[in-house]
Structure 1
Amino acid sequence: MAPLRTTIVSVVAFMITASLMNRASAGDVELAGFVQAHAVARMSNVDCPAGTECAVPFNEQRLQLKAEGGNEAGSLSFLGKIDLIHDSVLDERVGEVRELYADYNSDNFRLRSGRQIITWGLGDLLFINDIFPKDWVAFYSGQPLQYLKRGSDALNLDLYLGTTTLEIVLSRFRGDRLPDSRQFVMGSPFSPLLPYHIDEPTGAELALRLSGNLASWDAAVYASHGYYRAPALTATATEVYGFYPRLNTLGATLSGAFANGVLNLELGYYDSVNDRGGDIPAIENSQARFLVGYSRQLGQETQLGVQAYAEWLQDYHAYERSLPAGFALRDEVRTVATIRFTQRYFYQTLTFNLFAFVGLSEGDSYVVPSVRYAFNDNLWAELGANLFGGSRHGMLGAMGDNGNVYLTVRYAF
Structure 2
Amino acid sequence: MPGIIRSIAVGLFAFAALTPPGTSAEVTLSGFLQQNTAFNTVTENPDGRHYKWLEERAQLKLDATGGAWRVLLKGEVAYDHLGRQDESELREGYVDYAARNWDLRAGRQVITWGLGDLVFVNDVFPKDHEALFAGRPLEYLKRGVDAVKLGVYPGLASFELVVAPTFRESRTPDPNRFWLFDPLPAVTNRTTVKPEQGDAGLRVYRDIAGYDAAMYLYRGFHRTPSMRPDSMLAPTKITYFYPKLFIYGASLSGRAGGGVLNLEAAFYDSRQDRSGSDFTVPNSQTRVLVGYQIQPVEDLSLNFQYYAERMHAYDSYRGALPAGFPAEKRVNHYFTARATQLLQHQTLRLSVYASYNASNGDYFVTPELRYSFTDHLWGAVGANFFGGKPWGQFGQLSQNDNVYLQLRHEF
* TM category, shorter: over 0.9
Match of 1:321, SS state, is: helix
2:110 equivalent in structure 1 = 117
Q: Tell me whether 1:56 sits opposite 2:51 in the alignment.
A: yes
Contact persistence 2:70–2:97 (CA under 8 A): yes
Higher alpha-carbon deviation: 353-362 or 227-236: 227-236
Q: Tell me whether 1:191 sits opposite 2:185 in the alignment.
A: yes
Q: Following the alignment from structure 1 to structure 2, what is the Cα–Cα distance between the partners of residues 206 and 267?
A: 19
Cα deviations by residue, 1:133-165 (Å, 9 ceiling, x for unpaired) = 000010111111111000010110000020420
Q: Following the alignment from structure 1 to structure 2, what is the Cα–Cα distance between the partners of residues 185 and 389?
A: 12
Q: Which runs of 5+ in 2 are unaligned?
A: none
1:318 to partner: Cα distance: 0.6
Match of 2:132, SS state, is: helix
1:21 to partner: Cα distance: 6.5
2:92 is matched by which residue type in structure 1? Answer: E
2:350 is matched by which residue type in structure 1? Answer: F
Q: Quick one: which of 167, 170, 182 aligns to 2:163?
A: 170
2:410 equivalent in structure 1 = 412
Cα deviations by residue, 1:204-233 (Å, 9 ceiling, x for unpaired) = 211001000111211000101000001221
1:58 is matched by which residue type in structure 2? Answer: W
Distance 1:91 1:108, change over 3 A: closer
Q: Following the alignment from structure 1 to structure 2, what is the Cα–Cα distance between the partners of residues 408 and 367?
A: 18
Q: Following the alignment from structure 1 to structure 2, what is the Cα–Cα distance between the partners of residues 35 and 20?
A: 31
1:107 to partner: Cα distance: 0.9
1:158 is matched by which residue type in structure 2? Answer: G
Q: How many residues align?
A: 405
1:6 to partner: Cα distance: 4.5
Q: Following the alignment from structure 1 to structure 2, what is the Cα–Cα distance between the partners of residues 53 and 244?
A: 30
1:224 equivalent in structure 2 = 218
**Identical positions, percent:** 38
Q: Following the alignment from structure 1 to structure 2, what is the Cα–Cα distance between the partners of residues 94 and 193?
A: 30
Contact persistence 2:39–2:50 (CA under 8 A): yes
Q: Following the alignment from structure 1 to structure 2, what is the Cα–Cα distance between the partners of residues 186 and 13?
A: 41
Q: Following the alignment from structure 2 to structure 1, what is the Cα–Cα distance between the partners of residues 70 and 382?
A: 37
Over 6 Å off, 4+ runs: 19-23
1:99 equivalent in structure 2 = 92
2:209 equivalent in structure 1 = 215
Contact persistence 1:252–1:266 (CA under 8 A): yes
Contact persistence 2:11–2:72 (CA under 8 A): no
Q: Following the alignment from structure 1 to structure 2, what is the Cα–Cα distance between the partners of residues 152 and 358?
A: 30
1:389 to partner: Cα distance: 2.0
Match of 1:132, SS state, is: coil
1:394 to partner: Cα distance: 2.5
Q: Quick one: which of 35, 38, 44 aligns to 1:37?
A: 35
1:7 to partner: Cα distance: 4.5
Q: Which runs of 5+ in 1 are unaligned?
A: none
Q: Tell me whether 1:69 sits opposite 2:64 in the alignment.
A: yes
Match of 1:139, SS state, is: helix
Listed as ranges, the matches of 1:123-142 within 5 Å are 123-142=116-135
Contact persistence 2:8–2:62 (CA under 8 A): no
**TM-score, normalised on structure 2?**
0.95
Match of 1:401, SS state, is: helix
Q: Following the alignment from structure 1 to structure 2, what is the Cα–Cα distance between the partners of residues 192 and 18?
A: 53
Distance 1:60 1:21, change over 3 A: farther
**TM-score, normalised on structure 1?**
0.94
Contact persistence 2:337–2:354 (CA under 8 A): yes
Match of 1:219, SS state, is: strand
2:6 is matched by which residue type in structure 1? Answer: V
Q: Following the alignment from structure 1 to structure 2, what is the Cα–Cα distance between the partners of residues 20 and 298?
A: 51
1:376 equivalent in structure 2 = 374
